[in-house]
């Protein structure tokens, strides 16, 4: 029997709620692929009779919702792939009690918000893919209690605001990609308590100016990518220009969009005395940043190519 057919038969048994899986087909199964099968709903406990399951692939289906305890009694599960579905809602504890889960792929869905507690009780989670969704806001505590999370991908969303505490208590996070969103505001403290971040990708967002405080608490930062953003090169940039000795490359990435006289010029090429505000401006400052992203679009040796998760 071909693997695909065997896996489909197993899923039929799950749907029919057989009280006991045949040993050869169920309980000893370590890999289960159900991708591309037009699955719309997965009931809580649907895979509870597969205690040795190591990898579960539900990609390219039509799943719209993740209910609480959907994946209960999967103590060995390490890879859960749910990308390319239509998921718009995830209940609290949708991924609870997966003690060995290493990689969770939720990219290319219709997720709009990450609720507090969605990813609780995932002590081994290392890679989390949430790119290519419709997320508009990162709420305080959205990623709480993920002690080993190393790479977090949030690019290609609709994020406008990152609240204070959105990324707190992620002690092993090295990579954070927020590129190609609509971020106008990053609240102070949004990236606090992130001691190991190395690279932060904020390309292609809507921020206008940068406060020097944004780079004051980045002990492990290696690179920050800031290009393709509508920077307002006026008096709001003066403090930043005076406080970039630690990060001289940042100025070279900032290409002015306004005022018109500086449009297309690098901020680094403009004299400080020319950065003037003719009228009062109301700008959103990028304050108190303490985070980053490892090889956002290129992947890394640890994560593989990010393009595989689009």
At 77-89, the pLDDT tens digits run: 999 999 999 999 9
pLDDT per residue as tens digits for the range 251-291: 678 899 999 999 999 988 999 889 988 765 444 444 433 33
pLDDT (mean) for 30-39: 91
**Is there a domain that residue 30 lies in?**
no
In this predicted structure, which of 1-15, 45-59, 278-292 has the lowest mean pLDDT?
278-292
Q: What pLDDT, on a 0 to 100 scale, did the predictor assign at position 10?
A: 62
Tell me: cis bond preceding 106? Omega within 30 of 0 counts.
no
pTM, entire model: 0.81
Question: What confidence score (pLDDT) does residue 279 get?
Answer: 62
Once rounded to an integer, what is the mean pLDDT over residues 57-63?
96
Question: Taking the mean position of all CA atoms in its chain, how far away is CA 103?
Answer: 12
Both tokens of 173, joined, read 């996070």
138 three-state secondary structure: strand
Q: Which of 1-10, 111-120, 170-179, 286-295 has the highest mean pLDDT?
A: 170-179
Number of domains in the chain: 1
Average pLDDT over residues 129-135: 99
Query: Is 253 or 59 the better-scoring residue by pLDDT?
Result: 59
CA 10, 12, 14, 19 torsion: positive or negative? Answer: negative
Decide if 77 is inside a domain.
no
Return the SS3 of 128. Answer: strand
Could you tell me if residue 236 is inside a domain? Answer: yes
**Measured on CA atoms in the order 23, 25, 27, 29, is the torsion positive or negative?**
positive
| 214 in a structural domain | no
Task: Check whether 246 has a pLDDT greater than 70.
Answer: no
Query: Is 269 a domain residue?
Result: yes
Name the percent of the chain lying above pLDDT 70: 75
Q: DSSP letter at 153?
A: E
pLDDT at 180 over 90: yes
pLDDT at 3 over 70: no
The span from the CA of 134 to the CA of 110, in Å, is 6
CA triplet 230, 213, 186: central angle to 5 degrees? Answer: 50
Q: Are strands 55-57 and 113-114 parallel, antiparallel or unpaired?
A: unpaired
**Confidence at residue 20, expressed as pLDDT on a 0 to 100 scale:** 36
Domain hosting residue 249, numbered range: 231-277
Residues 191, 80: Cα–Cα separation, whole Å: 27
Q: Is residue 257 part of a domain?
A: yes
Asked whether residue 204 is assigned to any structural domain, the reply reads: no
Q: Which of the pair, 213 or 39, is modelled with greater confidence? A: 39
CA distances from 209 to 156, 157, 203, 230, 261 (A): 21, 21, 13, 9, 17
Looking at residue 308, the DSSP 8-state letter turns out to be G
- Of the segments 131-135, 212-216, 287-291, which one has the largest average pLDDT value? 131-135
The pLDDT value recorded for residue 247 is 57
Report if residue 87 sits inside a domain.
Answer: no
- pLDDT score recorded for residue 249: 60
Using the predicted structure, report yes or no on whether residue 173 has a pLDDT greater than 80. yes
């Amino acid at each position: 029997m071909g693997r695909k057919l065997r896996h489909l038969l197993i899923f039929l048994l799950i749907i029919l709620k057989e009280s006991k899986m045949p040993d050869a087909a169920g309980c000893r199964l370590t890999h289960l692929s159900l991708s591309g099968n037009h699955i719309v709903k997965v009931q809580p406990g649907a895979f509870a009779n597969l205690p040795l399951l190591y990898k579960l692939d539900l990609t390219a289906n039509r799943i719209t919702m993740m209910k609480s305890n959907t994946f209960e009694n999967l103590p060995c599960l390490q890879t859960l792939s749910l990308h390319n579905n239509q998921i718009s809602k995830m209940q609290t504890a949708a991924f609870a009690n997966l003690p060995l889960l290493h990689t969770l792929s939720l990219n290319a869905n219709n997720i709009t918000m990450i609720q507090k507690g969605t990813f609780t009780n995932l002590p081994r989670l290392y890679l989390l893919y949430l790119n290519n969704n419709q997320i508009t806001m990162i709420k305080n505590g959205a990623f709480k209690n993920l002690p080993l999370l190393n790479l977090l991908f949030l690019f290609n969303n609709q994020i406008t605001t990152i609240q204070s505490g959105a990324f707190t208590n992620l002690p092993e996070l090295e990579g954070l990609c927020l590129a190609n969103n609509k971020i106008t505001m990053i609240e102070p403290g949004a990236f606090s308590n992130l001691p190991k971040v190395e690279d932060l990708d904020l390309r292609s967002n809507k921020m206008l100016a940068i406060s020097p405080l944004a780079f004051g608490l980045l002990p492990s930062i290696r690179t920050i990518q800031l290009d393709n953003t509508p920077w307002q090169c006026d008096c709001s940039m003066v403090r930043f220009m005076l406080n970039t000795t630690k990060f001289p490359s940042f100025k070279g990435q900032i290409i002015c969009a306004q005022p018109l006289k500086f449009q297309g010029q690098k901020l680094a090429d403009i004299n400080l005395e020319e950065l003037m505000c003719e009228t009062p401006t109301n700008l959103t400052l990028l304050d108190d940043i303490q985070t980053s992203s490892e090889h956002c679009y290129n992947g890394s040796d640890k994560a593989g190519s990010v393009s595989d998760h689009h």
